[in-house]
Amino acid sequence: MAHSFRKKLIEGETLIGTLITIPSPTVAEIMAHGGFDWLFIDMEHSSIKLQDAEGMNRAANNQAHCIIRCPSNDEAWIKRCLDTGADGIILPRINTLEEAQYAVYHAKYPPVGNRSVGISRAHGYGSTFNEYLDRANEDIALIIQCEHRDALDELNQMVALDGIDAIFVGPYDLSASMNKIGQVEDPQVQKAIGKILQVTKQAQKPLGIFATTPTGIQKWHDEGFSLLAVGVDSALLASGGKHMLKQLNKTHQ
């Protein structure tokens, strides 16, 4: 991985990842070996703890970029997740310009923001401290999620912010905010996603989205989404097991 995740992202490279919700570095290592470009380490909707997330970064061993979704847009979570050595963070439920400004302020070092400075795994425990500080703003991605109908009102202003590297659509929460929970194919939900796509294209900001299947994610890639997350580790494990049993049962009928 010669180029940083952020550089690949802003250059429009197609990046295919998957959600990691099982608190196990082994799972992250397996997925990294599987060839995914990036791992979506989800600390918002899982039992993954900070120590687990740091271990997942180690386990990926530079075979896949690790991006952590913080539990919330909170200074403590932002700095602690970044200090694990992650290649970037995703912040959920960013609905206003003020919230986006807060994210930049705490995720980027000066002069872009005012990220707190500490010594951690990200800084080589001190051995690469200066090098990390020099390149962090260029290499580490800040991605905010647009997953509520309210976010559409100020999206134009949010995407114009220096320090916001990409927008990630949360289609299921977006549908819920429109009283159409889980109905991601509903015309109104699709129209909202289309508006997000239009705004980000005009701002020349990368756009990401989640889908459960390759067919579903291909549709969005064809529309212009480049940061793609497909499937969830637990669901992949379950479906793989079911498929194997189905094949075995056929041979024993």
Active site residues: 45
Cα distance between residue 22 and residue 1, in whole Å: 25
Contact 79, 70 (CB under 8 A): no
- CA distances (Å), origin 178, targets 57, 151, 181, 193: 35, 12, 7, 12
Q: Which of 70, 63, 72, 79 is nearest to 25 (CA)?
A: 63
Strand pairing partners for 89? 68, 142
CB-based contact 56:66 (threshold 8 Å): yes
Question: Residue 65, Cβ neighbours under 10 Å: how many?
Answer: 24
Alpha-carbon gap, residue 219 to 139, rounded angstroms: 29
Q: Cis peptide before 25, with omega less than 30 degrees from 0?
A: no
Compute how many other C-beta atoms are within 10 angstroms of the C-beta atom of residue 147: 22
